Amino acid sequence: MKILGIDTSCDETAAAVVENGETILSNVVATQIPFHAEYEGVVPEIASRKHTEWIAVVVQEALDKAGLSAGELDGVAVTSHPGMLGSLLVGLNFAKAFAYALKIPFIAVNHMLAHLYASRLAEERPDYPFLGLLVSGGHSIICRVDDFDDITVLGATIDDAVGEAFDKVAKHYGFGYPGGVAIDRMARQGDASAFRFPMPNLYKGEHRYDFSYSGLKTAVVNQLEQFRVKTDPTPEDIAASFQKTAVEILLRSLFRAVEDTGLATVVAGGGVAANSLLRARIAEQRGAERCGALRAIFPPLSLCGDNGAMVAGLGFRLLERGDRSPLDTVASARVRGFKKKYP
């Protein structure tokens, strides 16, 4: 089955064709970064307008690169939630019309499940169950994954997501846009011990695997001098110290979940999964006493951000099972359908 996947959940207009849920025939992403850079953040109205202008061209390019005509497709998958509502509606309505005109199956998918599926499009495919680490601009989630659509949330952010914290710190100091990429780049030239930022005190009961980033964000933006260790810190030092603490907050909860569940395979997904320090720190734990034979799987960098291939891959699995979405399916800005279970 050759599935067209479409994603317009935020500011990337993305389309891809994937065969049998594993083989990427094409993967096209049109970035809107130049249009949002002057605002140092995504402007929802600009994003939805650009999606409207670009989506037909991006879909056609995906078909051309796959060497297919529209009539050779077996189904259409599209992100319906979560994301920015105006952006989601563009992709969702285009996909509905496209599938209806071709009389082929249509399926709406969960963007976060698609990020977890991205790792299955690479060479190293994890077996279920495993622990998922979903980290993006809007979400920070640790979950147990028993199948491609069977997810139990163990922990999540209680306030800001990690990607949001990266973006806001970068915007405050003028580090550049996108914030996560800019801080990761600057941190390589900085001293991560120049500032000793606080860690949230979440370690008991129902919050054992949760995250909090509002305190770190406040410390870096509004209370910087209180946590200075180095005499003459540079902007690169701020970036490095912030990034180190942000990553340690994630890993503290993740490694607790590894120890408690006995699941030694961790699959990451989302834009922050491209962060070089996060990848390096998890790699350091392979074979460590507390985590045993930890196996960490990261998607290729091209599949960490929003893309249509992960949507098409997940869509294939749903369509193969016989699932179909009605043409009155609506978009939603929020995550739906995740189970929540605390230890």
Is 50 exceeded by the pLDDT of residue 342? no
Quick one: the chain helix, strand, coil %, rounded to 5? 45, 20, 35
Say if CB 243 and CB 187 are below 8 A apart: yes
Closest CA to 268 of 260, 281, 259, 278: 278
Closest CA to 131 of 244, 301, 257, 280: 257
Say if CB 6 and CB 91 are below 8 A apart: yes
- Whole-model pTM? 0.92
Distance between CA 341 and CA 154 in Å, rounded? 6
Burial bucket for residue 38 (CB in 10 Å: 0-12, 13-18, 19+): exposed
Which CA distances in Å does 211 have to 108, 131, 161, 187, 284?
A: 29, 16, 8, 22, 21
Distance between CA 76 and CA 5 in Å, rounded? 6
| pLDDT interval class at 205 (50, 70, 90) | low
Is 60 exceeded by the pLDDT of residue 291? no
Percent of the chain clearing pLDDT 70 (strictly above): 94
Higher-confidence residue of 252 and 202: namely 252
Mean pLDDT score of the chain: 92
Predicted pLDDT of residue 290: 57
Least confident of 12-16, 253-257, 294-298: 294-298
Average pLDDT, integer, range 267-295: 81
Is 90 exceeded by the pLDDT of residue 138? no
Is 80 exceeded by the pLDDT of residue 288? no
Higher-confidence residue of 248 and 137: namely 248
Interval 38-95: pLDDT, tens: 998 899 999 999 999 999 999 999 999 999 999 999 999 999 999 999 999 999 999 9
Predicted pLDDT of residue 343: 44
Predicted pLDDT of residue 340: 63
Where do the domains of the chain lie, and which CATH numbers do they carry?
A: 2-116+303-340 (3.30.420.40), 128-298 (3.30.420.40)
Average pLDDT, integer, range 202-217: 83
Strands 2-7 and 130-135: unpaired
Burial 163-182 (b: 16+ CB within 10 A, else e): bbbbbbbbbbbebebbbbbb
Say if CB 270 and CB 135 are below 8 A apart: yes
Least confident of 73-77, 120-124, 336-340: 336-340
179: CB partners within 8 A, 6+ apart: 40, 166, 167, 168, 169, 170, 171
Neighbouring C-alpha atoms within 13 Å toward the C-beta of 264? 11
Is 50 exceeded by the pLDDT of residue 238? yes
Average pLDDT, integer, range 193-198: 96
Say if CB 329 and CB 53 are below 8 A apart: no
Predicted pLDDT of residue 338: 65
Neighbouring C-alpha atoms within 13 Å toward the C-beta of 254? 26
Phi, psi of 82 (to 5 degrees): -85, 175
54: CB partners within 8 A, 6+ apart: 13, 30
Is 80 exceeded by the pLDDT of residue 292? no
Q: Which residues pair with 107 in a beta bridge?
A: 77
Burial bucket for residue 336 (CB in 10 Å: 0-12, 13-18, 19+): exposed
Phi, psi of 145 (to 5 degrees): -115, 110
Say if CB 180 and CB 272 are below 8 A apart: yes
